[in-house]
Structure 1
Amino acid sequence: MVLTFGGADVANPNKAKGTQWESDVRNYLNAELGLVDEYGKFLDPFDAHNVRRPAQEGAADVGDVHAVPFVLECKNVKRPSVPTFVRQAEVEAVHAGFPYGVAVVKVPRLNVRRGKVHFSVRTWTRVRLALGMDSREFAERYGFTASLRGLNTGRWYMTTELEPFGSLLEDVRKLRHIQ
């Protein structure tokens, strides 16, 4: 028998930490985007823009948090493996039918808005081009830095924090006219 407390699995504290991080990311983005009232309730529960934690169904994982048009793979781990997390997010975005997948990694002892959001160079470029920005403008506006590890470009990624990612998400949504 496994005891649960507030929906978290007490028998697995790492799972509980991960679930809490997913909820923190979802709650932060909903508040930042003005989608909830002062009590955290959706202003419009049927709005496709609401950031949600989807129920996992079937064999194909669809990611931890859906922030249309992004799937967020949220990680709260001691030793992040960012390239692996980013690849996982991109696969899960395909499963969910979303165009973009990114990894959101908790930074110990910092506020949720300081969580690191990691993009593959390919996803970063696709989002940048969709917004019609050159590399420098995009990086400066949303606070991106590059991690270029060795000659294998599959291990390269671009990083910002959750706070500027909220602004990026808002800008992409305006562009896409998501309904």
Structure 2
Amino acid sequence: MANASKARGTRWESAIRDYLNGVLGYSHPTDWRLVKRQAQEGAKDVGDLHAWPFILEAKDVKSPAVPTWLRQAEAEAVNAGFPYGVVIHKVRGKGPALARVHITDAALSRVLADSGGYVPAELYPSAASSRFGYWTWTLAEFAQVLTAVRGTSSPVQG
């Protein structure tokens, strides 16, 4: 019998991938913008999903541990050679659009600086810094951020 937690995690990763690719209109398999699930290989984890320039760490658990997850996502971003790591936490009883996307204050500052003002103003954090050290979007809002950031960057072509 397959591991139930692993199967639930795989379904959640696939739901995130399918939601983002659908809402952003990505479908061609060679399109660099396509959000892709990653097979784990070697000792250094490279995240659950790749959505250049973000590593997406998917979590489908009842009890959140956001600071720990963010440290994991940021380490995986380094391992994969990506600038940013975020965590996507499933909200029970809700579809992918309402999932919570967490990013550290420091990473958000870099995203906003690197995007050169392309991130829509309504997606900026309030003037007060997050008291928890991270900021949260819905996955629907994150899709807008991803589009804006990708407007200013693309992966290095080898």
Alignment TM-score, normalising by the size of structure 1: 0.80
SS in 1 for 2:152: helix
> Which residue is equivalent to 1:6?
none
Between the two proteins, the alignment pairs up a number of residues equal to 154
> Which residue is equivalent to 2:53?
69
Q: How many Å separate the matches in 1 of 2:73 and 2:90?
A: 15
> Which residue is equivalent to 2:134?
157
| Residues 107 and 115, structure 1, Cα contact 8 Å, conserved in 2 | yes
Question: Per-residue deviation at 1:143?
Answer: 6.7
| Residues 9 and 58, structure 2, Cα contact 8 Å, conserved in 1 | yes
Higher relative contact order (CA 8 A, sep 6+): 2
> Which residue is equivalent to 1:153?
none
- CA gap of 1:50–1:67, structure 2 versus 1, over 3 A, is same
- CA gap of 1:144–1:28, structure 2 versus 1, over 3 A, is farther
Q: How many Å separate the matches in 2 of 1:56 and 1:87?
A: 18
Alignment TM-score, normalising by the size of structure 2: 0.90
- CA gap of 1:139–1:88, structure 2 versus 1, over 3 A, is farther
- CA gap of 1:141–1:17, structure 2 versus 1, over 3 A, is same
Q: Deviations over 1:63-116 (max 9, x none)?
A: 000001100000000101001111100000000110110000000001110000
Q: Does 1:148 align with 2:131?
A: yes
SS in 2 for 1:66: strand
5+ residue gaps, structure 1, are: 4-9, 37-43, 150-155
Q: Deviations over 1:108-158 (max 9, x none)?
A: 00111000000011100000111234xxx9685227576413xxxxxx100
Question: Counterpart amino acid of 1:66?
Answer: H
5+ residue gaps, structure 2, are: none
Question: Per-residue deviation at 1:177?
Answer: 3.9
Q: How many Å separate the matches in 1 of 2:122 and 2:92?
A: 25
Q: How many Å separate the matches in 2 of 1:72 and 1:13?
A: 21
Question: Counterpart amino acid of 1:176?
Answer: S
Aligned residues with identical type, % of pairs: 45
| Residues 52 and 154, structure 2, Cα contact 8 Å, conserved in 1 | no
Q: How many Å separate the matches in 2 of 1:78 and 1:116?
A: 13
Q: How many Å separate the matches in 2 of 1:140 and 1:46?
A: 32
Which residues of 2 match residues 12-161 of structure 1 at below 5 A?
A: 12-36=3-27, 44-133=28-117, 140-142=121-123, 144=125, 147-149=130-132, 156-161=133-138
